[in-house]
Structure 1
Amino acid sequence: MTTPFAVQVGDERTQLTAFLEQYRELLPGVLDGLTEEQARRRLVPSATTLLGLVKHVAFVETVWFGLAVTGATRAELGLPETVDESFALTDDDTVASVRRHYAQVCEHSRAAVAALGLDDTVTGRGYPITVRWLLLQVMRELAHHSGHADILREQVLAAG
């Protein structure tokens, strides 16, 4: 696992990237050792499941690194129109397929900003944001959902 503590003395981009990469590893990691049923188990009133959370963060990365950087539409990126829809699972969604999709999305995200500096501005969402802000925003979202995932995984494992 990537650890941000290994780059305490790196430049700002290196440090931001290390934290972001740690969350990119943590989220799909909540599915480790779970059955398909456990990954899909709904334990809260919302449609949130562990598998749905990983599917949702693929949506989040695509919105911010796809839409915001490139200006492509949700339709062009194959994204649902609402955030709630991004949690919805289909019969084709499996632990392996959702993890694979998220890994591919992360590769696209990395590539989208690889040639950009932290102070470069992107406008694909209709307003200017710096790459620094973009990295921090995605990191905030991933950290937020990592907390949800930790609690849900604890509940799933306790239920057996």
Structure 2
Amino acid sequence: MTPSDPKADLRFYLQSARDALLWKLDGLSEYDIRRPLTPTGTNLLGMVKHVASVELGYLGDTFGRPSGEPLPWLEDAAETNADMWVTADESREYIVGLYRRAWAHADATIEALALDTVGTVPWWPSGKDEVTLHHAVVRVIADTHRHAGHADILRELMDGAVGMNESNDSMAPGDSAWWENYRGRLERAAQEAGRDA
């Protein structure tokens, strides 16, 4: 077995989450990528805006490498959760472009610094605000994969599209009839367990 490069491993998993999240926007209307699909307002393009902000913060500002990107939704005067949704004035192209610029900036930080480099997270409490680059990258990977999972569910509810990307749906093989039958079986099991409880 060939030893792996820790930075390459981290970049691979980070990029796979980035790509999965952006793929969820493909083929959808402006309305569909913005519409809130949960009681807390979870929406596809808003998650992209959020993860772009997260990358620029944890893998930029934290290590003294500000991107220079204006992020008005993170300023003190911004409304609560302004990073989790996209205004009508903020285009898909702008948000996706911001995310791609965040990738480049974050990747440059990962390339330039050793994984044991210590940074200071500006929004964490003083005295508890130091973090290694390794920790910051793992944190960003976890956050991005979490939101890619949210996006997968939202997209499935919209039009049935699922998976990591167009060529890898990561699903058991089966046509729509098989899935309908499978879901029905799960529903019956849930009802039976509910009666027995």
Structure having the higher Rg: 2
For residues 26-65 of structure 1, what are the structure 2 equivalents within 5 Å?
A: 26-65=20-59
Q: Which stretch shifts more, 147-156 or 103-112?
A: 103-112
**Paired amino acid for 2:49:** K
Distance 1:59 1:78 in 2: 10
Distance 1:58 1:33 in 2: 21
Alignment partner, residue 142 of structure 2: 140
Determine if the alignment matches structure 1 residue 119 to structure 2 residue 116.
Answer: yes
Identity of aligned residues (%): 33
The one of 9, 12, 24 aligned to 1:15 = 9
Deviations 1:8-27 (Å, cap 9, x if unpaired)?
Answer: 85211111111111111111
TM (normalized to structure 2)?
0.68
Paired residues of 2:65 and 2:109 also in contact (CA < 8 A) = no
1:102 to partner: Cα distance: 0.6
Describe the SS at the equivalent of 1:21.
Answer: helix
**Paired amino acid for 2:103:** C
The one of 86, 91, 96 aligned to 1:94 = 91
Please, which runs of 5 or more residues in structure 2 have no aligned partner?
161-197
Distance 1:48 1:24 in 2: 17
The count of corresponding residues between Structure 1 and Structure 2 is: 150
Large movers: runs of 4+ above 6 Å: none
**Paired amino acid for 1:93:** E
Paired residues of 1:59 and 1:79 also in contact (CA < 8 A) = no
1:94 to partner: Cα distance: 2.7
Describe the SS at the equivalent of 1:122.
Answer: strand
Larger helix share, 1 or 2? 1
Paired residues of 1:40 and 1:50 also in contact (CA < 8 A) = yes
Paired residues of 2:120 and 2:130 also in contact (CA < 8 A) = yes
Q: State the Cα RMSD in Å.
A: 2.4
**Paired amino acid for 2:119:** V
Determine if the alignment matches structure 1 residue 153 to structure 2 residue 155.
Answer: yes
**Paired amino acid for 1:118:** L
1:110 to partner: Cα distance: 1.4
1:79 to partner: Cα distance: 4.7
Distance 1:71 1:9 in 2: 30
